[in-house]
Chain A
């Protein structure tokens, strides 16, 4: 292939009623990145294309865009690779999703910064520094817990395809939660509780639908999804009951008491009377479809042979004494560095340099 089409999302709110796409024909060159292609189009064909850029080495986080539907950094993607991957002669470049486009490929970053500030994304020391004025001590293992999480370049690629944010624009979004993890997991930090409360507010940890889009799109392998799960575990360790945990407890109580779930009372137990009232219209619909029994409202009935359920519980209790799940065992998994390309067998290993 000698030429390819660079199809660029164009929008200037002062001039255009609606966004449109403009296509530039460019030669295929080995080593050319999508960012270089954008510059080539801008400087040789159309100076009016606007996009953000700076380091062109995947460290500043300016140039996140959607390329053929997937959010990534324009400076990091080879034109030849994209053409091959999608088996096409056209590269479509659009602003990332879930944000407001301001002009062409440039989106409103302040909207994300406002979310960012909500988790107090700054170090709040646990104690004053050592009396001799030297550094806080931190073991290599404790440093390792925050090492991958501090790789975040705030490019917002994780925001683009986040299904939770799509459904709820109050959701803090993946990179914000990943940053909350970075501080909550820092052995030197003293504001773990404040941060956890910020992320537990408005069910933020629960909103994540585990679709993995953030971790898949992250160009720096920061693992936002994993950090959300890590935060859930840390919150549980700290004694916070997340709505999810409460939900599981209600399930467990119901099964123990009745051998089946009481869907009439579940919302009330979970969210209290007021919260449950919000769900009343849905409950009524379910009733008319024959999905719930009104008798459940008054406690309802048990399953047949409920005594067998009780036996299962007794057996489980016995076994429970033998099998102990200890939190420290889980910790190793919690803080595991899951980067594929940069994972180091030994975290003391010397990295690259200039």
Chain B
């Protein structure tokens, strides 16, 4: 049996940062388990940058201003002590990353360059051109290779084993061989990313961002927090949901409906296409709902027209956006408008973290960091540049805390690992033999369509109740779905099957908690309750898994010095 003191599930930025830190404690054995190779993780897709008040560009910036911007951005749902901690730690973590070799873009004097970002009072976002996440991920992986961190690449974690309120290990499948293993671990850190894939095609995430870690913890009895909050980015490509950066509108691109109108004139006559993200996203969605878009259903879209900028400017200033449109949509923006629609982008909610200093969950020895965790520092709405920060700021202490916990934890001799392994192996064998009547694509598409139409950018009581029913029905139909492939080696059909199960559980939790939150806050916009209601809903939702659907409780938001005010920009 494989045995680790600290097992890290997921090898994106959060997982690798935790691994590097845990690995410094030479008394513990650290392993990282990931369903892809580490450099394939979704952290690599983050382009814009990472926030830290280095004050390299504007000396008046400070961690306090950063904290205030984040609290306000969160629509006051973020825990202020955790936010203050994150913003204080931010400069130290940026320097640490730089000392690991991250090739940040530079100012003429050789210091790290910083640029302005939405919702920030100062140019605070450190970047490496348009590939900040990519270079961070690769640099951290390189450091792991240097330090000899042990990786289990292409392994899928299926279950978390808990006994007596303590972590015991995980059940995992070696994707390369198809073998089922129980891995014994004293401390387990989840760093498995978000769940925006519940909206399937209408999302900007990697195909593998299926919220596995969150669903695994949820089913194991750990509550998920604020799961109703999903951030939508206004411009995703029509067919894939891949992001078209804000730069396209920044350079003067127009949003056009099927009447040929620049419709933003109706929603934000002054700012037009450059209004805040959530506002632009709602405007596009309204145009489509009112029949002024092109296409039908999930394939509806409006135009992002860059043609008037001319070939020269497009090639010089927006070369990447042009390549994206050509490669992924088959459209050259010099000749045709780009078909776009909002796209689910980021999961604010996640595994309930009780203590931000260690990232420990209510279960002893189980930790969560990054997008799969909910500390909460992003509250109801995340600011651009704060997600890369989140993973390094919380990844590091989580690694140290998990190592310390494991070091002081005696070896478990009573838990029956062999029985768990036998049970899991039988389950997988049955699955491989199973005959199904459903098609994976049908269930997934119906789930995504339901979530998009009824628990998407605009939310309202009745449609959400319908969505809850629909998801329950889909969960029933899922029982009649089979992986469809019985082979052992690289059976990705089996993995896709298990991932869909995770998404369905999370979709249900999102719909239920969203229906119960009778207010509008940050990314959660209700037509029937258009205002924020601090009296009743300045609190985090906690959803507990039960066979009959989530059981929801609430917990207090921690406020230090920033009293809730109206969020206006």
B489 and A61 within 8 A (CB): no
- Is there contact, CB below 8 Å, between B240 and A56? yes
A57 contacts which chain B residues (CB < 8 A)?
45, 206, 240, 242, 324, 328
Point out the residues of chain A lying under 8 angstroms from B484, CB to CB. Answer: 47-48
User: 1/0 per residue A134-151: CB within 8 Å of B?
Assistant: 111111101100110011
What residues on A are CB-neighbors of B98 within 8 Å?
135-136
Q: Is the CB of A103 within 8 A of B103?
A: no
Complexed CA–CA distance, A72 and B46 (Å)? 22
A59-B134 contact, Cβ under 8 Å, with A48-B493, A123-B142, A153-B39? yes
| Contact flag A129-B95 (CB < 8 Å), given A12-B489, A47-B484, A54-B36 | yes
Q: Is the CB of A352 within 8 A of B47?
A: yes
| Chain A hits for B44, CB < 8 A | 55, 59-60, 153
For B134, the chain A residues whose CB sits under 8 A away are 59, 151, 153
Q: Does B221 contact A (CB under 8 A)?
A: no
Interface residue B531 (Cβ < 8 Å from any Cβ of A): no
Asked whether any CB of chain A lies closer than 8 Å to the CB of B258, the reply is: no
Q: B247 CB to closest chain A CB, in angstroms?
A: 5
Quick check: is A100 within 8 A (CB to CB) of the other chain? no
Main secondary structure of the interface of A (DSSP, over half): loop
- Cα distance, A48 to B485, chains bound together (Å): 5
CA distance A104 to B485 in the complex (A): 14
Given A13-B489, A31-B329: A351 and B129 interface contact (C-beta under 8 Å): yes
Q: Mark A181-194, 1 if CB is under 8 A from B, else 0.
A: 00100101100000
Q: A136-B99, A138-B106, A341-B323 are in contact. Are A351 and B127 (CB under 8 A)?
A: yes
Which parts of A323-354 form the interface with B (CB within 8 Å)? 341-342, 345, 348, 350-354
Q: Which of B60-101 contact A (CB under 8 A)?
A: 92, 94-95, 98-101
Q: How would residues 24 to 44 of chain A score, 1 for a CB under 8 Å from any chain B CB and 0 otherwise?
A: 000000111100100000111
Q: Which residues of A contact B483 (CB under 8 A)?
A: 47
Q: Are A54 and B208 in contact (CB under 8 A)?
A: yes
Q: Point out the residues of chain A lying under 8 angstroms from B289, CB to CB.
A: none
CA–CA, A129 and B385, complex, Å: 25
Closest to A106 in B: B490
- Would you call A143 and B330 a contact (CB within 8 A)? no
Which one, B109-117, B352-360, B389-397, is touching chain A? B109-117
Closest to B133 in A: A59
> Interface digits, A113-140 against B, CB 8 Å rule (1 contact, 0 not)?
0001100111101000100011111111
- Looking across the interface, which residue of chain A has its beta carbon closest to that of B94? A135
Whether B105 sits at the interface, judged by CB under 8 Å, is yes
What chain B residues lie within 8 Å of A104 (beta carbons)?
490
A31 and B106 CA atoms in complex are apart in Å by 37
Q: Is A213 an interface residue (CB 8 A)?
A: no
Q: Please report the C-alpha to C-alpha distance between residue A350 and residue B392 in the assembled complex, in whole angstroms.
A: 24
B37 and A109: CB pair below 8 A?
yes
Closest to B247 in A: A352
- Name the contact of B143 in the complex, choosing from A30, A62, A122, A348 (C-beta under 8 A): A122
CB of A277 within 8 Å of the partner chain: no
In the assembly, what is the distance between CA of A143 and CA of B127, in Å?
A: 12
B135, B245, B330, B493: the one contacting A81 at CB < 8 Å is B330
Q: How far apart are the CA atoms of A55 and B324 in the complex, in Å?
A: 13
| Given A59-B44, A60-B45, A150-B487 contact (CB < 8 Å) | no
Docked-complex contact B328 and A33, CB < 8 angstroms: yes
* Residue of B whose beta carbon sits closest to that of A33: B328
Residues in B whose Cβ lies below 8 Å from that of A120: 146
Q: Which residue of B lies closest to A76 (CB)?
A: B327
Q: How far, in angstroms, from A125 to B47 measured CA to CA in the complex?
A: 26
Per-residue interface assignment for chain A, residues 1 to 21, with 1 indicating a CB less than 8 Å from any chain B CB and 0 otherwise: 000000000001111000000
Asked if B106 and A352 sit within 8 Å, CB to CB, the answer is: no
Residues in B neighbouring A50, C-beta threshold 8 A: 489-492
Q: Is A199 interfacial (CB 8 A cutoff)?
A: no
A138 in contact with B110 (CB, 8 Å): yes
Select which of B40, B130, B146 is within 8 A of A62 by beta carbon. Answer: B40
**Chain B 190-234, CB within 8 Å of chain A: the 1/0 string?**
000000000000000011100000000000000000000000010
CB of A353 within 8 A of CB of B489, answer no
Contacts of A14 in B (CB 8 A): 487-489
| Chain A residues, CB < 8 A from B323 | 341
Residues in A with CB closer than 8 Å to B468 are none
The answer to whether B246 touches A354, judged by C-beta atoms less than 8 angstroms apart, is yes
Q: Which residues of B contact A106 (CB under 8 A)?
A: 490
Indicate whether B14 reaches chain A with its CB closer than 8 angstroms.
no
Residues of A within 8 Å of B139, CB to CB, are 123
CB of A58 within 8 Å of the partner chain: yes
Q: Enumerate chain A residues within 8 angstroms of B321, measured Cβ to Cβ.
A: 352
Assess whether A78 is interfacial by the CB under 8 Å rule. Answer: yes
Task: Give the residues from 423 to 442 in chain B that come closer than 8 angstroms, CB to CB, to chain A.
Answer: 439-441
Q: Which residues of B contact A54 (CB under 8 A)?
A: 36, 40-42, 206-208
> From residue A221, how far is it (CB to closest CB) to chain B in Å?
10
Query: Are B490 and A59 in touch, CB under 8 angstroms?
Result: no
Specify which chain A residues have a CB less than 8 angstroms from the CB of B493 in the assembled complex: 42, 47-48
The smallest C-beta distance from A223 to any residue of chain B, in angstroms, reads 16
Complex interface bits, B472-510 against A, C-beta within 8 A gives 1, otherwise 0: 000000000001110111111100000000000000000
In the A-B complex, list the 6 residue pairs whose CB atoms are closest, starting with the nearest.
A123-B101, A137-B110, A47-B484, A353-B48, A351-B130, A47-B493
- Could you pull out 20 A-B pairs where Cβ atoms are within 8 angstroms? A30-B330, A32-B239, A33-B328, A42-B492, A47-B440, A55-B206, A59-B44, A60-B36, A103-B490, A123-B101, A137-B110, A139-B108, A146-B103, A150-B135, A151-B131, A152-B138, A154-B39, A341-B320, A352-B318, A353-B247
Interface residues of A (CB under 8 A from B): 12-15, 30-33, 36, 42-44, 47-48, 50-62, 75-78, 80-81, 102-104, 106, 109, 116-117, 120-123, 125, 129, 133-140, 142-143, 146-147, 150-154, 183, 186, 188-189, 341-342, 345, 348, 350-354
List 16 extra interface pairs beyond A103-B489, A353-B130, CB under 8 A: A33-B328, A42-B492, A42-B493, A48-B484, A54-B206, A54-B207, A54-B208, A57-B242, A57-B324, A60-B41, A62-B40, A137-B111, A140-B107, A153-B39, A154-B37, A352-B130
